[in-house]
Amino acid sequence: MAHVPASERRPQLVQAAIDLMTREGIAAGSTRAIAAELGVAQATVHYTFGTKKDLYRAVVEQLKSDFVGEVRAASPGDGTFGEQVRTLAHALWDAATGEHGRCVLLGEFGSLAMRDPDLREIMLALQRDIEATAAEMLDAVAAAHGLTLALPARRIAVHFLGGFDGLTARHLTLHRAGDRPDQDTLEALELLVATTVGLCLGAPAAARPL
């Protein structure tokens, strides 16, 4: 078998780990199983990552990159500030709950992180990055409309993501990844967007149209 440089092998192993863990869960992601998924020797996984923490960090970073990249690629479209925030929120929903199961896998990492200090460090970095990205996107939409946000963008982002995480958890408890949300979830998402826009504009959500 031809030698594959480490720079090429690493992303292949990360993707193999993501594919395997998405199908069967994190517990199934042993170095032996990941090696078998890609068709390489188990030693290749150990050589490339060194420790399981390094592998987990690479997996979470790739998931984050895919997730944030998908949301960033979504255009806010035309319309009012509120309409554009709504468009981005729905793009975030599609990225989080799509049939690829990314949100399920990240949720599993998050649950394990509650008892694993190494994983907690990784997931804490992920949370901070997602909050910073959401704040940056809010600032960009506000600037495009010549608006000054009534609260710091990060505070608004934390509010929105806290509610959003709860809704995605509810959805994935009731449904499978890729399923359409039920009416209660859709209405709750619209309410979350409305309250977020209200915080941005410094007025009760009901006082201003989206």
Same-domain status, 114 and 166: yes
Same-domain status, 40 and 133: no
Same-domain status, 24 and 105: no
Same-domain status, 36 and 124: no
Same-domain status, 113 and 17: no
pLDDT digits (tens, 9 = 90+) for 60-88: 999 988 888 888 888 888 899 999 999 99
Last residue of a domain, one of 32, 50, 68: 50
Same-domain status, 88 and 162: yes
> 81 exposed, middle or buried (CB, 10 Å; 0-12, 13-18, 19+)?
buried
Amino acid at 197: V
Provide the pLDDT confidence category of residue 207 given band limits of 50, 70 and 90: very low
Same-domain status, 100 and 142: yes
Contact 34, 16 (CB under 8 A): yes
Contact 149, 139 (CB under 8 A): yes
CATH assignment of the domain containing 11: 1.10.10
CATH assignment of the domain containing 203: 1.10.357
Count of domains for the chain: 2
Same-domain status, 41 and 63: no
Structure tokens at 37: 């998924």
CA atoms within 13 A on the CB side of 15: 8
Assign 50 to helix, strand or coil: coil
* In the block, residue with structure tokens 């826009």: 197
pLDDT digits (tens, 9 = 90+) for 3-53: 676 678 999 999 999 999 999 999 999 999 999 999 999 999 999 998 888
Contact 109, 26 (CB under 8 A): yes
Same-domain status, 122 and 32: no
Domain interval for residue 31:
1-50
If you average pLDDT over every residue of the chain, what do you get?
A: 89
Provide the pLDDT confidence category of residue 118 given band limits of 50, 70 and 90: confident
Query: Which three-class secondary structure string do you get for 136-198?
Result: HHHHHHHHHCCCCCCCCHHHHHHHHHHHHHHHHHHHHHHCCCCCCCCHHHHHHHHHHHHHHHH
Contact 58, 120 (CB under 8 A): no
Same-domain status, 16 and 102: no
Same-domain status, 42 and 63: no
pLDDT digits (tens, 9 = 90+) for 138-190: 999 999 999 999 999 999 999 999 999 999 999 988 988 888 999 999 999 99
Same-domain status, 87 and 145: yes
